[in-house]
Amino acid sequence: MMCSKENQEEEKLAKLTTIQGKRDWRLSVRKLETVLSRCRDISRWLDLIPELLEKVDDGSMGFTPAVQIAYLKKKEQKDVLDAMELTLCTPSLSQAMRMKS
């Protein structure tokens, strides 16, 4: 699922890269990069512990922060889950990125 911002950007790019009815090869490369990035995210997302996957499925946690948390070891993911349950909060993307590094 693409967010509207990505759709708008893609439409702008399509308009800019269309020359005399032919699309520039750069648009195809850009689309391919987007697809590959999304595939990497989904592949990584599958490394989450089941409890965190459930949080994403029920909408209580965002997909993008979940992808970042998926880079953590299983024990660290469990610690994140425990902290989430204790504070009744989910990490933002920025917080999840800092945990990953």
Q: Which of 34, 94, 99 is nearest to 81 (CA)?
A: 99
pLDDT tens per residue, range 5-62:
566 666 666 665 555 555 666 667 778 788 887 777 777 778 899 999 999 999 999 9
pLDDT at site 31: 80
pLDDT at site 44: 79
The DSSP line for 16-64 is: HHEETTEE-HHHHHHHHHHHHHHHHHHHHHTTS-HHHHHHHHTTSS-HH
pLDDT at site 6: 60
What span, in angstroms and rounded, lies between the C-alpha atoms of 48 and 77? 7
pLDDT-derived band at 1, boundaries 50, 70, 90: very low
pLDDT at site 95: 92
Domain boundaries, position 88: 24-100
In a domain, 2, yes or no: no
In a domain, 41, yes or no: yes
How many separate domains does the chain show?
1
In a domain, 31, yes or no: yes
